[in-house]
Amino acid sequence: MRKLQILKTLIDLFWFFSIIAVVGMLFFIPFMFLSKEVVDIPIKINGVLIKVDSIETKLILTVVVISFLIFAYGIYLFRKVLSLFQKRIIFDNVIILLLNNIGKCFLIASILSSTALFLYPFIYKNKVVSIEFGSGFSSFLFTSSLGLFFMVLSEVFTISKNIKEENELTI
């Protein structure tokens, strides 16, 4: 159970910093759209430098922010799962639903941000498109795999719950 406590602490810390980032984004996005001037703040997301000088790039940045909000919601759901695990609630329908929703959040966030950052060179008229398979948490492959992992874990918990219920009936 010590590992569970360490994981919960790390996720809580990640959640805390995510909330700070969300608050900053909620102030920045309206400022960005209401500003008539070019925003000269260099914004680099997953290795892509975004120059905010047109409505298209503002929309791409907004999609990336929305994907981060969805990812942060997935982290929030993960915190709930860990809290239930600490209470020794494991094979429950709530856990199964939360794990599936975490997976969907991570997968949707990964697809949204990767698609937006892939389309950015076309919209910025750069015409130079590059596909990178980076390493780390910003990688599309990693975050989408993490989302699929949580969805598979949800199915495993469903199977385990059914087996547990059958065992309780046969005794």
Q: Is the pLDDT of residue 36 over 70?
A: no
> Where does the chain show beta strands of DSSP type E?
43-45, 48-50
Q: Is the pLDDT of residue 129 over 90?
A: no
Mean pLDDT of 37-60: 69
Q: Is the pLDDT of residue 64 over 90?
A: no
d(CA 7, CA 36): 44
Highest mean pLDDT: which of 43-47, 115-119, 123-127?
A: 115-119
For position 103, what pLDDT does the model report? 96
- Please, what is the average pLDDT of the chain? 83
Mean pLDDT of 13-37: 82
pTM exceeding 0.85: no
CA distances from 7 to 3, 88, 137 (A): 6, 15, 17
For position 171, what pLDDT does the model report? 58
Q: Choose among 20, 30, 21: nearest CA to 58.
A: 30
Exposure class string for 110-133: b at 16+ Cβ within 10 A, else e = bbbbbebbbebeeebeeeeeeeee
Q: Is the pLDDT of residue 5 over 90?
A: yes
Query: Which pLDDT band holds residue 40 (cuts at 50, 70, 90)?
Result: low
